[in-house]
Structure 1
């Protein structure tokens, strides 16, 4: 049986848009209209709960949970590869922040890296018109459903299947490029596809960077305040898919100078993600929700564990927990800076994040 959600969904969208307005995440009337009118439920017909359960609008047993979730300010996992989450519908408040940070005007062209469900693409089409919007994602398992859902909702942007790090040069240049998946470095090809006065908005670490091209192979930018957590960019080779954690280190722990509560500090986690990129974290939570222990590992095989007794053990290619303690020491000396105190400089063959100014403390991003 098909349920007509037209009126109910419209009311739920208006409520979500009002909630985003009340929190200050949505301030532009044009973007508010987009959130009120673009049907998120069309783009998220189902999602996966944290335990892996498929919550679907077509299943009477989960319909109510599904409808409520897609109209809340929640990120929802929508695609899994070999059991791992590889695509999602982003949290609407973060989407609103990013869309407003684009500072678009009528007639501008936008390239989105990471089509996902197609919902963000639809919001862009609502604001700028289908002809001005291009999106790309790595797999037809993602782009084919996104294209169908866009058509159902009445939108026909250019949806491309391919490696997002290469962009879509055939339709360049773009006034704006928005990246909706996590980066460790900025793909040089994207900077080459911007207009002279355009910019790229992308998550680096756990924050957003607004990056302006300055010449062949060069660019500069600043980070915006607040956090921005995204799944990693996937390339044609298939990397970016999370893997199972390695075996934990054994043996006696040593006293740690990195307290457990620092792991919950998003400002510290931003710097940790820049200085030691590619980390995967797991946490232990106490009765009051506080972090009492953690495990962290790196693709190079290094792994560390913080125990409830505040000791740490580490093993692998490098002493990972020691590296994080060094980063935390720098963070404290700098008076616990937020992301908006950092900037980025890009030159041919080198990308650096710096604190306060280009002559300040600097971290070279691994290309």
Structure 2
């Protein structure tokens, strides 16, 4: 594929993608639409990894994929996916939710390929964008691709949970990796009227500081599945699955179809964080069985006959059944009914009101 053909075809492919995002309601701001039309995603994603592990680059499959509304795995550590280019529709949703204005300074946690930083620079300018990622083998290529596309934000290699205090304060902080709790260091780097937008569980929380060590926020209705924040370059390799539980099963009160309910999965991810899942699917792509485990060695298996077996220090399926009962009692809420409160010693997720049902997110 010649570069001339790539440039010509890519411009048209970007226009088609931007129109599709607009038609779907994911892209409503003309400034962000221009960014998606102008910033060349193919420059930032010169290859990606298929689910089989095959590296795909410089062919029709690659060119088509980078101009579709899909996430693409772009980095692997010891065979495990540890970085990706996010789904453009989710990127558009998050960028518009930032509600930026000219002159604002933005910190991005999770530089990845550099594509999202390029979109931010297109809107705000080089001097107003700082992006951080954990490893030089991610930030180095991102920096090079940004420069090749004509963008020069500040790219920093480091632990994203610490932010980039030397360039603070920021009007907005956008986190493009999954969090299990909100790093207090990031909140301390916001302006008084700024906010942080981050994935907690599998949804997006917009969090506003309210005082020293305190903050509050609400969740947006959109789902948001991201790879977890890495604190060291060695992070990111999934926990090896413990041995499957043996012995007789018991009837499960959590139906397999509930696992595919993203609204329930939000609460499950808050109530029982840190889980890894595997699924069995039938010909209709319906879940018929599952295995779920935790780094502490706990594991549960849902069998096709709807029985479940558990092993390890915690009864994971029992905990998920309890979460599902609570989910049903409160009316099967979507993520936008939840909020988050951050205090110096605790972080909580709550439903409808800070005094309503609540789940401990972090005990400092």
Settle same-fold status: TM greater than 0.5: yes
- Tell me the equivalent position of 1:37: 38
The residue number in structure 1 matching 2:114 is 118
Residue-by-residue CA offset, 1:223-262 (whole Å, 9 max, x unaligned)? 0002000000000273343233221111111000000000
SS class of match (2:221): coil
Output the TM-score relative to the length of structure 1: 0.97
The DSSP-based 3-state class of the residue aligned with 1:224 is: strand
Q: d(CA) in 1 for partners of 2:15 and 2:158?
A: 35
Moved more, 183-192 or 1-10: 1-10
Number of the residue aligned with 2:291: 295
Please give the alpha-carbon distance, in whole angstroms, between the structure 2 residues aligned to 1:226 and 1:201. 12
1:133 counterpart = 2:129:
yes
The corresponding residue for 1:48 is 49
Tell me the secondary structure at the aligned position of residue 123 of structure 1.
Answer: helix
Tell me the SS of whatever aligns to 1:65. Answer: helix
- Tell whether 2:353 aligns with 1:352: no
User: For residue 243 of structure 2, what is the aligned residue in structure 1?
Assistant: 247
Please name the residue that 1:314 is paired with.
310
* Deviation per residue, 1:204-223 (Å, 9 max, x gap): 00000000000000000000
**C-alpha offsets along residues 46-103 of structure 1, whole Å, 9 cap, x if unaligned?**
000000000012xxxxx00000000000000000000000000000000000000000
Match 2:208 to one of 198, 207, 212 = 212
CA offsets 1:18-54 (integer angstroms, 9 cap, x no match):
0000000000000000000000000000000000000
Q: 1:222 aligns with which of 218, 221, 224?
A: 218
Task: Compute the displacement of 1:2 (Å).
Answer: 4.6
Measured after TM superposition, the shift of residue 3 of structure 1 is: 2.9
The SS at the match of 2:101 is coil
Q: What is the CA-CA distance between 1:288 and the residue it aligns to?
A: 1.1
Q: Which residue of 2 aligns with 1:14?
A: 15
The equivalent residue for 2:174 is: 178
Ranges in structure 1 where 5+ consecutive residues have no aligned partner: 58-62
Q: Distance in 1 between matches of 2:194 and 2:118?
A: 21
> Residues of 2 paired with 1:271 and 1:315: CA distance?
23
**Residues 1:324 and 1:21: Cα distance change in structure 2 (over 3 Å):** same
Matched, 1:68 2:64: yes
Query: Residues 168-223 of structure 1, C-alpha deviation per residue, up to 9 Å, x if partnerless?
Result: 00000000000000000000000000000000000000000000000000000000
Residue 3 (str. 1) matches residue 16 (str. 2)? no
Distance 2:267 2:285 in 1: 23
Distance 1:141 1:204 in 2: 26
Asked if residue 81 in structure 1 is aligned to residue 77 in structure 2, the reply is yes
- CA distance, structure 2, for counterparts of residue 243 and residue 253 of structure 1: 24
Q: Is the 8 A contact 1:234 1:241 kept in 2?
A: no
Query: 2:25 aligns to what?
Result: 24
Q: Secondary structure at the match of 1:366?
A: strand
* Mapped contact 2:77–2:236 kept (Cα < 8 A): no
SS at match of 1:117: coil
The answer as to 2:230 corresponding to 1:234 is yes
Contact 2:297/2:313 (8 A) holds in 1? yes
Contact conserved, 2:45 with 2:85, CA < 8 A, in 1?
yes
